[in-house]
Structure 1
Amino acid sequence: MNHTDAPAAHVLPDFVAEAVQATDRTFSLYVHVPFCLSRCGYCDFNTYISPDLGPGASHDSYASTAIKELEFAADTLDRSGIVPRPLHSVFFGGGTPTLLPAEDLNAILERAGQLFGIQPGAEITTEANPDSVTQQVVQELAAGGFNRISMGMQSSVSHVLQVLERTHNPDNVVSATQWIREAHLELSLDLIFGTPGESLQDWQRSLDTVLGLRPDHVSAYGLIVEEGTKLAAQIRRGVYPNTDPDDQADKYLATEQRLSDAGYRWYEISNWAYDPDNQGIHQSQHNLAYWRDQDWWGIGPGAHSHMAGFRWWNAKHPAAYASRVLENISPAIGHEIPDADARLLEKIMLGVRLAEGLDTAVLADQPRHAAQHAMTETQLLATQGLIEPDALEAGRIVPTLRGRLLDDAITRRLAGF
């Protein structure tokens, strides 16, 4: 993988413009809002508690800084000879974007629309915590152009939320859902299973709550204990037991059963869309853009961007990020051009997580010995019940339910590890 220093000039490599013009790639926008009211014990995201981290990096000034980076992005694309493409999707993540006033989020979105355009019907999402929205905020976001809210529920069981150090009131999930529905916005609920001390009955209670709220979309992830987090230290000291892979597998199977019985369809290993007629509706178009290797520009501290195989990332700390933006210097501090092996591994890793699967042509497009090995492995994986035989006959590698539990192993085998 080729790592070099990020260029200071407002320009992308020539091959990016050539690739964008030669292919029908979509273009999305991610806006990172790094503020939180408190830091959850399991979280290793680039988030900060202080509302004021210096010039351009406070609650009050953040929108204007983000808008300035949007303008920098538009100028860079223009200087690079890349014809503007209307935004396929927009996603505000964090952190907790809704700690900023709705008018600030709307102002960032409005400026993005002015600079790039937004496709008709584009998915425009903000993340939110149940305690960070009010009925008025939801109505203002809807009026400003947002059409989807992804709410961090995680669990409906108080002692599980306590271990995760989630501070929201579980009852507020119900109120926020009602406001979102009244504003005619789509709703996605984010869940975490496998928290230390969470029983299977606890998880079933959370699923009961979700099914009672009938969101359009559900994301459910097994808890990963990241090094350097408070939870990792607590587990190391014996305050909590470590996560149990078998327990997480049981909860994943329960999730698939309950959601599929209620009309939800998995389209990515950790994501389900309400789609009783199997028409492909309510899937997260923004996340699919990531998984399908499309283009996106990331705005904000630590945000990553990708265009036609060229990747770069911004300064991580909000103060350092804002300082560069305000001085009209690229906030990017590094970039890379993944080599062919890295690109292949990524395509395999992402493809085998999707219900649409991985095209077997991807495996054939490599040196002869490696391609033969990979195709032999696909037959073994089908025989072992890890990928769907019918899909394989049609040229797609799609994991079975059992295969979803072993997707890392599938990736390693197809990649020849």
Structure 2
Amino acid sequence: MINTPSSVSNLPAAAQRGFGIYIHWPFCLKKCPYCDFNSHVREEISQERWRAALLQELDHYADLLKRSGGEGRIVSSVFFGGGTPSLMAPETAEALIQRIRKHWPCHNDLEITLEANPTSVESDKFAAFAQAGINRVSLGIQSLNDQDLQFLGREHSAAEALKAIDVARQNFARFSFDLIYARPTQNKQSWKEELERALAEGTKHLSLYQLTIEENTPFHGARRRGEFKELNPDTAAELYDITNDVMARQGMPNYEISNYANPGEESRHNLTYWKYGDYVGIGPGAHGRLTLTDNTALGNKIATRQHRAPEIWLSTVEQTGHATRTHSSVSVTERFEEMLMMGLRLNEGIKLVDIQNETGQNLNDLIQPNKMEQLEQEGLLSLGKNRIRATIEGRTRLNSVLSYLLA
């Protein structure tokens, strides 16, 4: 159930597919060698200054939406990401949640997620975060093998990970955790055993990512120097098949390429991204997509991005009330391309009516029909009466599928 303003039916189509608030906390205890996120290590952080600045930027976007016909939006999810947001003071999370509720009506079952690592420093604060209003936690476990945790540069052991899961279970109605597989020394049997061990913890949602070596990360340099070799691609593909098989038999199929859940336990916030809903992004480097009302049927979709460097972001917000570096309109063509890139990640694909509502055009007007038919014949795409979706094989080769469709 939701508290529904009378103006909700007049909202832009994107806002009706979900309206989320993303809050970026950019600090970590240590930078992991595989990570290319906007995360930083600092010896000292003024919790009071950061709390005030995040509230200021949130106020700025609430005011922007009010001035641009944004009344009636209903917040469906709040996500504290990072970095490591569990390093923030619980009072900061509480203040932001209260301010969000002041600015907008919210779903009665509003999902409020906090990313956390399984160190004792963070798990000891879980009760306080639950008291602050967090009702879902996403744990960066990454591995249940001590040797691989060391390789991944993690600060916790497998025992600490299992303890943190137990603490999360005691404090939150919903919890999820991440694992990284296709690690250099992994084989099919060891991954299957680790996955089954993870499932024994009783979570209803898992994020399972293949190890990817990103540029400008320590792992990228280490691989180039020959310090380790990536897992054979064929073996990695077999591990993906094993993952899908084990999770499906558990009743937790992948609703997105790397995310698995029991029905009803999907991440509502991430679904807003994948279904191309609207969302506010605040904090260093945070991105947003907002549909503002104008004199057109489609509205004016804007892309926002906050200044990436933490200290510059902080000083800019304190001086001007926000640190928006990018505030640009998204063309109809770009809207369709973004919708396709996000929506084909989902097992359910994209509703054709959503494409029509977002772009004002039919699918056949946006993509050459012969391209879609070719991909369907190759078993990479499924074209139904009401939706377009990538098959399992298509999702494993999604970059190639998108390149072909959008060329």
| TM-score, shorter chain, exceeding 0.5 | yes
Question: Residues 85-144 of structure 1: CA distance to partner in whole angstroms, max 9, x if unpaired?
Answer: 231100000011111222222222222222224221011100000115666522222222
Partner SS, residue 333 of structure 2? helix
Are the counterparts in 1 of residues 79 and 112 from structure 2 also a CA contact under 8 Å? yes
- Residue 322 of structure 2 aligns to which amino acid in structure 1? S
Are the counterparts in 2 of residues 197 and 241 from structure 1 also a CA contact under 8 Å? no
CA distance in 2, matches of 1:31, 1:20: 27
Single out whichever of 94-103 and 327-336 deviates more from structure 2: 327-336
Per-residue deviation, 1:317: 0.9
Corresponding residue number in structure 1 for 2:329: 337
**Structure 2 residue runs without a partner (length 5+):** 1-8, 292-300
Corresponding residue number in structure 1 for 2:310: 318
State whether structure 2 residue 374 is matched by structure 1 residue 386: no
Per-residue deviation, 1:402: 2.2
Are the counterparts in 2 of residues 142 and 185 from structure 1 also a CA contact under 8 Å? no
State whether structure 2 residue 373 is matched by structure 1 residue 403: no
Corresponding residue number in structure 2 for 1:9: none
CA distance in 2, matches of 1:404, 1:124: 28
Question: Residues 339-377 of structure 1: CA distance to partner in whole angstroms, max 9, x if unpaired?
Answer: 333222222222221121134564993697864x3x323
- What fraction of aligned residue pairs are identical, expressed as a percent? 33
CA distance in 2, matches of 1:315, 1:20: 32
Residues 197-212 of structure 1: pairs in structure 2 closer than 5 A: 197-212=185-200
Are the counterparts in 2 of residues 130 and 176 from structure 1 also a CA contact under 8 Å? yes
Partner SS, residue 171 of structure 1? helix
- Residue 73 of structure 1 aligns to which amino acid in structure 2? Y
Are the counterparts in 1 of residues 84 and 115 from structure 2 also a CA contact under 8 Å? yes
Corresponding residue number in structure 1 for 2:218: 230
Corresponding residue number in structure 2 for 1:103: 91
Question: Residues 1-21 of structure 1: CA distance to partner in whole angstroms, max 9, x if unpaired?
Answer: xxxxxxxxxxxxxxxxxx974
Corresponding residue number in structure 2 for 1:86: 74
Classify 1:133/1:120 alpha carbon distance in 2 versus 1 (closer, same or farther; 3 Å): farther
Single out whichever of 233-242 and 329-338 deviates more from structure 2: 329-338
State whether structure 2 residue 271 is matched by structure 1 residue 288: yes
Partner SS, residue 273 of structure 2? helix
Partner SS, residue 327 of structure 1? helix
CA distance in 2, matches of 1:39, 1:73: 30
CA-based RMSD of the aligned residues comes to: 2.5
**Structure 1 residue runs without a partner (length 5+):** 1-18, 276-280
Are the counterparts in 2 of residues 72 and 328 from structure 1 also a CA contact under 8 Å? no
Classify 1:162/1:22 alpha carbon distance in 2 versus 1 (closer, same or farther; 3 Å): closer
State whether structure 2 residue 353 is matched by structure 1 residue 365: no
Instruction: Work out which of the residue numbers 1, 26, 31 in structure 2 matches 1:34.
Output: 26
Give the TM-score normalised by structure 2: 0.87
CA distance in 2, matches of 1:66, 1:205: 42
- Residue 386 of structure 1 aligns to which amino acid in structure 2? L
Per-residue deviation, 1:192: 1.5
